[in-house]
Structure 1
Amino acid sequence: MKKLEAAVAAAEAYCKVNAYDCHAVVTNAESQVIQFFPARTYHVDMKIGTVLTSGVVAECLASQKRVSRVIPQKFFGVKLKVIVEPIFEDDGTLSGTVSLGTSMNMQDSLHNVAQSIAATAEQMLATAEELAASADRLAVELNRVKSGGETVLAEIRRTDGILKFVSEVADNSNLLGLNAAIEAARAGGQGRGFAVVADEIRKMAVNSSQSVKDIKTILQKIQSETQSVVGTITAIAEMGKHQADATVEISDAIQQLTTTAADLEKMAEIS
């Protein structure tokens, strides 16, 4: 069996094994259609016996090389990818052509979907990168606030020594005032003025001691609240770090989605 005859016999099989809807045309060396198998979803006005004096078949016969063209939608209602292959017999004689026209509807749909996915992925990637940058800045600022809170706690703890010193001074002043009052009492009338001074010293010592207690209570409350704030900030800082890490993972996933969209777009093209 000659190759041209085999192509005629196999035209229907060419179309059935193609994953996309297509039509097949076989011509002889004189560009006359000797076999035609139509597509299912579009119509090509082709009849056996028609001589194709122009177009891709004529070009293939003239060049004796494969010809590949994309036919715009306006001609057949769908965009087609047409490939025409010359048929050479075993002795090298050009005996005809076999051509396959394939609908590009599916490819165009995949191409559009891939472009849409790529555009959405790029937008999501930009948003994720912005979120990651914001999360990093937030983590830095929270750490700065945390450091400031820890500094405040350290300063509050330093006041314990000062308050202790003032309290000791107050206690000693109270003791000195008491001793002075005793000595003034022994001195009788001559020690009345000194007794007044001693009494004022004791009052000042008592007031100082009470003030130290009040200040210590206030500072303890401040310390407790500051510790609570620092603990909250620490928790938020950890959350910010986790958010930054999660955003990086999201960015990687979106980048992978972009790559997948590019691969899908390549798959949508017919070589």
Structure 2
Amino acid sequence: MRYPINYIAITRGFTSSHFGVDFGWNSNNGGPYHDIVAIDDGTVTAVVDGYGNTYPNNRIYGNYVLIDHGNGYSSLYAHALNGSIKVKRGQRVTVGQVLCKMNNSGYSNGNHLHFELRKSGTKIDPLPHLIALPEQKISPNSALLDRIKRGEEVVIKPETADRMRDQIKVNIDNLNIRSNPYLGDNIIGMLQRGIYNVFEQRDMRHEASNGYLWYRIVDDKSVWCAQVNGVDFYKAELPEIVHPPVIEQLEQEISELKQKNTEMIADFKAIMELAKKHI
């Protein structure tokens, strides 16, 4: 999941009393009416618009968009500019699609985006689930700088179970994937729960700083994940090769011909030996 804004300037993080992350603005990077974008593909489940910037008013979120991303995840984008919302309830949206503009509607005393991520209806800290893409700038003055992960997001969809292939089953949410099998390498995306094909294994458990078994999960790209708790590996179960009756018959005939040929050679050698004795 990408960040919901292309200039990342966190002003307030997720706490026990603030169930989301607030993003500020910069006059040289989008200004106070910065575009707000979808963090991932999904379906719009709620839209509220028509509220101005009265502080406070009877709508805490003011104008907002709520999106269902599947797998229990949903995201909310609050305090949007009145009349700026570009999507409708029931509409499918894609990652990075513009939803609305930043503003100050609802219970807010300054232009900002209040962003929430929810799992099965429970509000959770968004930062472990978000990746800053190369085109997204990060403010050097942002709060929680050390928690903003930079990467080029790679999205890999789960496969169906196939006992003819090596596969892993991911039983945890947001498993980091990296461009190389090293913990210090760039995080380029996250895997959700599901089945994924394995094209290569690399055992790095002998390295104290990198002690995992790693799996390459894309055929033609360097995309790796570690076998942490919650990741199970399944070895391909290749079936025993069974020869059709025709092949078995041919093999039997070839074997008989070889036997006859061996006998003929033995007879020929015996005749030659007898001939030598009478010369």
TM-score strictly above 0.5:
no
TM-score, length-scaled by structure 1: 0.23
Q: 1 or 2 for the larger relative contact order (CA 8 Å, sep ≥6)?
A: 1
Larger radius of gyration between Structure 1 and Structure 2: 1
TM-score, length-scaled by structure 2: 0.23
Q: Which structure features the higher share of strand residues? A: 2
